[in-house]
Amino acid sequence: MQPKSEADAPLGELLTQLSAQTSRLVRDEMRLAQKEFTESAKHAGAGAGLLSGAGIAALFGLAGYVFTKARYPMLPILLGVILGPLLERAIRRSLIISQGDVGIFFSSAISVVVFGAAIVLFVYGVIWPAVKSAMGKRAQEA
């Protein structure tokens, strides 16, 4: 025979219902807290990403300002930043293909000419101005 209302239910059945409802309530609250935490973490992550992006932009802006004030040309720096990772990947692939042998970079005439041109440009752009200024200082001392 079923009781007609919860007021007529025996104490044991009421305690069983209370235990089941309490555990369901705790599980639901834990799921809700987990979803709220996930949402707040997403917002915090987006905020941190925006802040770090702004910091990097400010750092590059400061570097650009310093280089401009020091009269460094910006084009070679920009080319180095853009083309550097591409060149690194290509060199790594070449070394993997050749199993670590650097002779692959000197195996064709074109690569030898390009490498020679790079050395000439380095000497002309970096070493020659340093030698020239040293010679000018030495001439002033004499």
- The secondary structure of 4-39, three-state, reads CCHHHCCHHHHHHHHHHHHHHHHHHHHHHHHHHHHH
Q: Is the pLDDT of residue 30 over 60?
A: yes
Q: Is the pLDDT of residue 83 over 80?
A: yes
Q: Is the pLDDT of residue 95 over 50?
A: yes
Look at residue 7 in the predicted model and tell me its pLDDT: 66
Give the mean pLDDT of 14-43: 84
Q: Is the pLDDT of residue 142 over 70?
A: no
Kindly report, residue by residue over 49-77, the tens digit of the pLDDT.
778 888 888 998 898 899 889 888 888 88
Q: Measured between alpha carbons, how far is 42 from 45 in angstroms, rounded to an integer?
A: 5
Give the mean pLDDT of 132-141: 79
**Residues 21/29, Cβ–Cβ less than 8 Å:** no
